[in-house]
Amino acid sequence: MYVTKHPVVKRIEPEVAASLRDFGYELVQIKYGGLARRRQLTVYIDKPGGVTSDDCAQMAQRLSLLLDTLEAPEDTWTLIVSSPGVERPLTKDEDFVRFTGQMAAVTIHPPGGRKTTRTGVIREVADDQVRLTCDDQSYDIPVADIIAAHLVYDWGKEEYDQ
């Protein structure tokens, strides 16, 4: 997958991922941006069974200490630790394997082509390609052409207990 990352994210990502792993969490994604005096560093975490608000608060405290030692980012910023939500970003090649059989939106930008998004079920991942089934058509998408992807939650399928 080709995803452009802010230099701050590139610098801190390995340490943040290792720290999260030590506490039983998975790093889903780090985002950094915003206006000069209102920058935000958002860390999306997950664990089997999902993430609670208490998990986010505890990891925000721990990551804040870690980030202070890394001196990153260098300007004023706010740390946010969050669950990835029901439409979880797919940020690593292995995410496509893990979520095979689920609906996803995949944005591609092939060299020399134009950016498009396909929404369908992840069927297979093999030979550096993701097979996506959209409206009874299959597409083999080169992983190298993927610039963004996320799960798509089917809000109409939700059944409520009476």
CATH of the domain at 103: 2.30.30.520
- Cβ–Cβ under 8 Å, residues 43 and 80: yes
Question: What does pLDDT average to over the chain?
Answer: 90
Question: 53, 60 in Cβ contact below 8 A?
Answer: no
Query: Would 2 be classed as within a structural domain?
Result: no
pLDDT for the residue 162: 43
Choose the final residue of a domain: 25, 50, 82: 82
Is 160 a member of any domain? no
The CATH code of the domain that includes 72 is 3.30.300.70
57-71 as b/e: b if 16+ CB within 10 A: eebeeebeebbeeee
d(CA 28, CA 88): 8
Residues 67 and 109 both lie in one domain: no
Domain that holds residue 56: 7-82
pLDDT digits (tens, 9 = 90+) for 29-47: 999 988 877 889 999 999 9
Q: Is residue 121 part of a domain?
A: yes
Number of independent structural domains in the chain: 2
- Looking at 31, 49, 82, which one is the last position of a domain? 82
Clarify whether residues 24 and 51 are in a common domain. yes
pLDDT tens column, 50-95: 999 999 999 999 999 999 888 666 677 899 999 999 999 999 989 9
The full DSSP string for 54-122 is HHHHHHHHHHHHHHHHHT-SSS-EEEEEE---TT-B--SHHHHHHTTTSEEEEEE--TTS--EEEEEEE
Pairing of strands 129-134, 39-46: unpaired
